[in-house]
Amino acid sequence: MNLTDPLAENPASPGAPVFHVHGVSKVYHMGEVAVHALRGIDLDLYAGELVVLLGASGSGKSTLLNILGGLDVPSSGEVFYLDHALTAASEEELTRFRREHVGFVFQFYNLIPSLTALENVALVTEIAPRAMPPAEALELVGLRERRNHFPSQLSGGEQQRVAIARAVAKRPDVLLCDEPTGALDYATGRIVLEVLARVNRELGTTTALITHNAAIAGMADRVIQMSSGRIVTTARNTRRLTPADLSW
Amino acid sequence: MLLRDLWHQRGQLLAAALVVACGIASFVSMRLTYESLLAARDSYYRVHRFADVFVHLKRAPDVMAQRLREIPGVAEVHTRVVMGVTLDVPGLAEPATGRLVSVPDRRQAMLNDLFLRRGRYIEPGSTEEVIASEAFAAANRLDVGDRVGAVINGRWKSLRIVGIALSPEFIFEVGPGALFPDNRRFGVLWMGHQALASAFDMDGAFNDAVFGLAAGAVVPDVLSRIDLVLERYGGLAAYGRDDHVSHRFITDEIAQNRISSTWIPGIFLGVAMFLLHLVLSRLVSLQRTQIGLLKAFGYGRGPVSLHYLQLAGATVSLGVVLGTGAGLYLGEGLTALYLDYYRFPALPLVFSPEVVGAGVGLSLVAAGLGAAGAVARAFELPPAEAMRPERPSSFHPGVLERTRLRRLLPPAGRMILRSIARRGWKSVLSALGIACAVGLLVLGGFFMDTLDYMLRVQFQDVQRDNVTVYFNQPGSAAVQHDVRHLPGVLHAEPFRTVPARLRFEHRSRRTEVTGLDAGGDLYQLLDRRLRRVGLPADGLLLSRKLADVLQVGAGDRVTVEVLEGERLVRSLEVAGVVDDLVGIFAYMDRAALNRLLREDSVASGARLRIDVRQSAQLYDTLKHMPAVAGSIFQEAALDSFEQILDRSLRVSTLINVVFACVIAFGVVYNGARVALSERGNELASLRVLGFTRREVAAMLLGEQVVLMLLAIPCGFTLGTWVSWFLSIQLDTEMYRVPLVLTPASFAFSALVVIAAALVSGIIVASRINRLDLIAVLKTRE
């Protein structure tokens, strides 16, 4: 609680938070063993900011992201998206929440193999209320020329960029990225990060990015360090680096 | 590991096992029924000495029997008196038609020997004792000790039933002029020879003979020699077993059983093979790592491959056990159904280990072939390759990209079509499986529709009378007048039939020439489109089948050899053909026929339209009318036939529906489960992206829906083809079976299959709820 307090006073974090997480714990029961994935998390995410969640595997960052994305529910505590309590939402409401407000970028892209790049984007824009044209989204990630290629004809980095285009095309309020560069080499990973930074900058999409790669933290507004289900530190970067300046 | 895999794949393997079970059940039940019928018929024929040749004549002195015995090839002759009479059966409003057949006064071995079910043989010299056929007795609830009245040679007589029996001659007991058995109104009664001969003034004479042939006898030679001997005694052409009605029916039935016991199980085993292939191929893909690990640990290719063979074997074994049990049960039921139509002393289901063995063998072969692809892949997979995840499915621009269809389809639609295209022949086989299910149902519909059509045409359009009466002797104008004035008769149309042989070039057929009154209404000759065909003033109209057999057409002249009376031989012109459904006949104007036969205006019988309110009086009068040898009551006969028919049709429809559902369910369920397994990650991703369960289910099942939409018309076509093929196969001189399929049958076929698919779809779709949305974020396909 204390750790996040100073951030509320930060002038770069305007008004009410997009996400308000309060006292969230998550316990998994594996047989007779109880695994505490999250222990009393308090966190606010603000409109337009880019947050990096850092931590080793098992630190609870993915669980937290899943809860924010409406894929999982906490064992205790509350999660608010604006004034909607996600913790009280039904399965159908969570689906609608994901559909209308959240963009996901997966570690392994998870594109539909039977659809071309453009169609993968269009699949999502068709069900979103205020989506941008799919071609525009591909333009945004620099893949205009590759739009009629199938995933199997694209490199890993290209696939991830299509996945980002798919995630942002519906103009989500929040973009949740789970290890988006985890499966990519350095150069490709950097291109992907540049795309994410650009989306955040140009569309103002609140972005939460999970990584175990501390070097990436430099591009964030805020860096949240997690360990053993707790938030250990929260730090604000005084200056956001561009992905080109990052190295690992 | 085997048990674990069996458990994990239980749904899909069970579906495959059920298809195998249906295959085995149909194979075992039909094949055993076939063997049982064949065994029952053959042993019945052997033990009760079914004759080889039959002949009916007007009257010959007993001494002629010796002449018949001397014919080369004839081993045995049994002469007898056979008479048609009108019967008055207690509890039956209409008069029944009885066939009185004489038997030796003392029981002795004879051709067409009786199997006495109950009671006893007649006392020698008794003039009132008869033995009744079982079918007739059962239908009328008659038993030993009961009496029936009969008009015997113009005299009323009460006959006492002393025994109930069966004869190999009447396994299928159908009356003269009738199209199907009506056991209430037609029956055979066996009576002592002496009594029957005296009653009909046939002492020292006979009017019917049956023959046993020596081994190696040439049937056509024997037939023509018999005809030669009996010509002056009013002999109608002798005929062999092939033209014997009862034998013909039972033999055709047995042949049909043999045919269907081959191709129906074939469909099932084919589908089972495909399903096993689907399940096992997917399993090998999922278990690549395991396979690699096992091989890396030093397990040979053999044990690894054996594992998958065992899975297939276990599945098929379950199918075999279920199928054999169901087959035996169905076989019992089928043979019981046959007893409705065919009378045997006993028709036990022959349990033939060979048949069950063959069923098991065939299933194992199907299992082996179904598993072969998957097993080969497991066998050949190098350990290192196996431990890498399988390459993601790759898609390339295909047909869809080159057509306009792409623009019309939303991405979800494109996903479905591309997925179908990528699965290539598997999609084709899936559709084919569903098409088979649809086709099976269409075929069932064909039998019902065609039968309906035939009955409707025959009893509404062709035979438009209520009652047909047959006279003992060709009736003079006076008799015709009497019939016209019977109580309740609104309209009567006499007809003349005479047995004749028609000859054209070297081809000939024994048939009947029927003389109808021009302008008559109660019996209509129709063409293929059911339009009435008028009788020519001169010349013949032939059944199309008869014209085909003789290879004649309008304008040809055929030789007509009358087999009665003066045995006149005349040449007549064929004026045209008619499309009748039953038998092969020649029709002409009655007056012309009378002229041809050099007789007055006589008739063999009359068709009556009656006032049903007065039917009771009419029936009573007919029961005692000496001139009448028998009557057929169209509606009553039709009703009783439909009752029997109903039972067997209900059973066969039920079996058909179950079989089709099992196939459709199996194919759709397995197809969807494999798709779910292959595309689980993709579908879970879509759920994460905010697609609802319903939308995701639609994407998963859309493939099956499209296949189904493709398969249904294919099934319609397939079913229609097979129906058409069968209608040609069933097209005989006895019956013509037109191809009739109503829209209702197509709709029913489609709906049943859609319902089965829907159920399997819902079951698979419920698994979408269990998709792990979190794992998908972290796992690689």
Q: What is the mean pLDDT of residues A127-133?
A: 87
Structural domains of chain A ordered from first start: 47-71+98-245 (3.40.50.300)
Question: CA of A164: which chain B residue's CA is closest?
Answer: B689
Query: pLDDT digits over B436-491, tens only?
Result: 899 989 998 998 999 899 889 988 899 999 999 988 888 888 888 888 999 999 99
pLDDT of the residue at A5: 35
Q: With an 8 Å Cβ cutoff, are B411 and A100 in contact?
A: no
Q: Residue A66: which of B681, B695, B774 has the nearest Cβ?
A: B774
Higher per-residue pLDDT: B170 or B293: B170
Higher per-residue pLDDT: B119 or B730: B119
Question: CA of B683: which chain A residue's CA is closest?
Answer: A112
Query: pLDDT digits over B55-98, tens only?
Result: 999 999 999 999 999 999 999 999 999 998 899 999 988 899 99
Q: With an 8 Å Cβ cutoff, are B415 and A112 in contact?
A: yes
pLDDT of the residue at A212: 86
User: What residues contact residue B601 under an 8 Å CB cut-off, 6+ apart?
Assistant: B476, B477, B480, B590, B591, B594
Q: Residue B681: which of A100, A110, A120 has the nearest Cβ?
A: A110
Query: pLDDT digits over B406-422, tens only?
Result: 677 888 888 888 888 88
Q: With an 8 Å Cβ cutoff, are B689 and A104 in contact?
A: yes
User: pLDDT-derived band of residue B243, with 50, 70 and 90 as boundaries?
Assistant: confident
Give A112 to chain B, closest Cα distance, Å.
6
pLDDT of the residue at B405: 67
Query: pLDDT digits over B662-719, tens only?
Result: 888 888 888 888 888 888 888 888 998 889 988 999 988 998 899 999 999 999 999 9
Decide: B330 and B648 in contact? Cβ < 8 Å: no
CB atoms within 10 A of CB A177: 27
Q: Does A108 lie at the interface with B, CB-CB under 8 angstroms?
A: yes
Question: CA of A134: which chain B residue's CA is closest?
Answer: B411
Q: What is the mean pLDDT of residues B382-397?
A: 68
Predicted model pTM: 0.82
Give me the phi and psi of B116, to 5 degrees please.
-85, 110
Q: Does A157 lie at the interface with B, CB-CB under 8 angstroms?
A: no
Type and span of the H or E element at B543? strand B540-543
Interface of A with B in 197-236 (CB under 8 A): none
Decide: B131 and B303 in contact? Cβ < 8 Å: no
Query: pLDDT digits over B342-364, tens only?
Result: 899 988 888 888 888 888 888 88
**Exposure of B93 in the CB half-sphere (CA atoms within 13 A):** 10
Q: Does A248 lie at the interface with B, CB-CB under 8 angstroms?
A: no
Q: Is the pLDDT of residue B10 over 60?
A: yes
C-alpha to C-alpha distance for B605 and B515, rounded to whole angstroms: 11
pLDDT of the residue at B560: 95
pLDDT of the residue at A11: 38
Give B323 to chain A, closest Cα distance, Å.
40
Decide: B663 and B434 in contact? Cβ < 8 Å: yes
| Percent share of chain B, pLDDT over 70 | 97
As given in the structure block, the two tokens for residue B101 are: 């057949």
Least confident interval from A30-44, A110-124, B405-419, B654-668: B405-419
Task: Say what angle helices B301-341 and B245-286 make with each other, to 10 degrees.
Answer: 160
pLDDT of the residue at A12: 44
Q: What is the mean pLDDT of residues B746-758?
A: 93
Least confident interval from A25-29, B288-292, B386-390: B386-390
Q: Is the pLDDT of residue A75 over 80?
A: yes
Q: What is the mean pLDDT of residues B7-34?
A: 86
Q: Does B423 lie at the interface with A, CB-CB under 8 angstroms?
A: no
Size of interface A-B (CB pairs under 8 A): 102
Q: Residue A126: which of B393, B410, B692 has the nearest Cβ?
A: B410
Question: CA of A115: which chain B residue's CA is closest?
Answer: B415
Q: What is the mean pLDDT of residues B222-229?
A: 92
Q: Considering only CB atoms, which chain B residues are within 8 Å of A127?
A: 690-691, 695
Q: Considering only CB atoms, which chain B residues are within 8 Å of A152?
A: 392-396
Q: State the best of B393, B394, B395 to mutate against chain A, taking most chain A CBs within 10 Å.
A: B395
Amino acid identity for residue B550 in this structure: L
Query: pLDDT digits over B477-505, tens only?
Result: 888 888 899 999 999 999 999 989 899 99
Q: What is the mean pLDDT of chain B?
A: 88
pLDDT of the residue at A234: 92
pLDDT of the residue at B720: 95
pLDDT of the residue at B269: 83
pLDDT of the residue at A4: 35
Q: Is the pLDDT of residue A13 over 60?
A: no
Query: pLDDT digits over A187-236, tens only?
Result: 888 888 888 898 888 888 899 999 988 888 889 999 999 999 999 999 99
Q: With an 8 Å Cβ cutoff, are A106 and B682 in contact?
A: no
**Beta strands B585-589 and B540-543, pairing class:** antiparallel
Q: With an 8 Å Cβ cutoff, are A108 and B779 in contact?
A: yes
C-alpha to C-alpha distance for A109 and B681, rounded to whole angstroms: 11
C-alpha to C-alpha distance for A121 and A111, rounded to whole angstroms: 9
pLDDT of the residue at B734: 78
